[in-house]
Amino acid sequence: MLTSSLVSRVIIMTSSIHRGLSSSMSIPPRRRRALLYMPGDDLRKITKAASLDVDLAVLDCEDAVAVSRKGDARTTIKMALETLDFGGTERGVRVNSVSSGLIEDDITSILGGSTLPDVLMVPKVDTPEEAVYISELVSKSGLASPVPLIFQTESALGLVNLREIILALQRSTALRAEAVVFGADDYVSDIRGSRDDIMAVVYARQKVVTLARAYGLQPIDRVYIEYKDTEGLRAESEQGFGFGFTGKQCIHPGQIQIVQQAFSPNTPGQLELLATGFRAAIARCDSVVFIWTVCLAAMLPHFKTMRFRFSLFGI
């Protein structure tokens, strides 16, 4: 039998754990398991992306578009946003970087259209000063609500400054920073590393996840370049999920299903089964309570992670 004092302590602990299990974000963030890039100057490919049931389709003004085609990309993207039905797919637009000298024209054009993207994406953000400049450019659009933003860290300097960049963006009244994307290829080039050596990016991937989680952003993992290597893609996607990433960049439609499956909860009944048993033990208020309390006090962080992931799917 449990003594009255032990029962009291157990009830306090179990009540705290129960509150932890029941709590979740009131408005879950959008699912961004797969982020698919489409060249912004190719209406045919953008039209195809609208039918792929990918979480986030990014219409690209940057790497996927030649310098001579930037103007065409802006025009095509605005047309696509105005005329295409993307269904449940989130529509993003990636503009050029601050250092390119093209970002002002990109933002003025895209945010001046009759139909806005769901989220704006900015690559190669290296300093908090660049973050402030991006905010100033967006504020000139005169929009009534903050623009959802995903930004990329792609260099040693950007990684070193990542915390300050996040804080600068979170002070902005024109932007609402929601996610940070790790651009591994430019990062590896910048540190003179080898992309074939997975250890070259372990530190960077973990830092991106850590800082993103610390400041309430979604961390999105690197591109898997070998798009025909489905087993390699699956393995790296599952590894990224284990690292704490919420999704992964894709460069080919054939990557979508594997990536979105890897970043989805695969045991939707597990959390509720355990929670049901736990509540039953509390109701009985016998020695089982003590066992459950000790175990679940240690496991509570894992339960919270599971609940958060399930919340994205309405579970």
pLDDT given at position 226: 94
pLDDT band at 269 (very low <50, low <70, confident <90, very high): low
Percentage of residues of the chain with pLDDT beyond 70? 75
**83 Cβ contact partners less than 8 Å away, ≥ 6 residues apart:** none
* Strand pairing category for 147-153 and 175-182: parallel
Is it the case that residue 39 has pLDDT exceeding 80? yes
User: Looking at the whole model, is its pTM more than 0.85?
Assistant: no
pLDDT given at position 1: 47
pLDDT given at position 10: 42
pLDDT band at 198 (very low <50, low <70, confident <90, very high): confident
pLDDT given at position 151: 98
User: Cα–Cα distances in Å, from 22 out to 26, 135, 251, 300, 305?
Assistant: 11, 36, 38, 11, 12
pLDDT given at position 307: 59
Is it the case that residue 271 has pLDDT exceeding 80? no
pLDDT band at 191 (very low <50, low <70, confident <90, very high): very high
Is it the case that residue 152 has pLDDT exceeding 60? yes
Helix/strand/coil (H, E, C) string of the chain?
CCCHHHHHHHHHHHHHHHHHHHCCCCCCCCCCCEEEEEECCCHHHHHHHCCCCCCEEEEECCCCCCHHHHHHHHHHHHHHHHHCCCCCCEEEEECCCHHHCCHHHHHHHHCCCCCCCCEEEECCCCCHHHHHHHHHHHHCCCCCCCEEEEEEECCHHHHHCHHHHHHHHHCCCCEEEEEEEECHHHHHHHCCCCCCCHHHCHHHHHHHHHHHHHCCCEEEECCCCCCCCHHHHHHHHHHHHHHCCCEEEECCHHHHHHHHHHCCCCCCCHHHHHHHHHHHHHHHCCHHHHHHHHHHHHHHHHHHHHHHHHHCCCC
Higher local confidence (pLDDT), 55 or 294: 55
pLDDT tens, residue by residue, 275-309: 666 666 666 655 554 554 555 555 556 556 655 66
pLDDT band at 5 (very low <50, low <70, confident <90, very high): low
* Cα distance between residue 107 and residue 98, in whole Å: 11
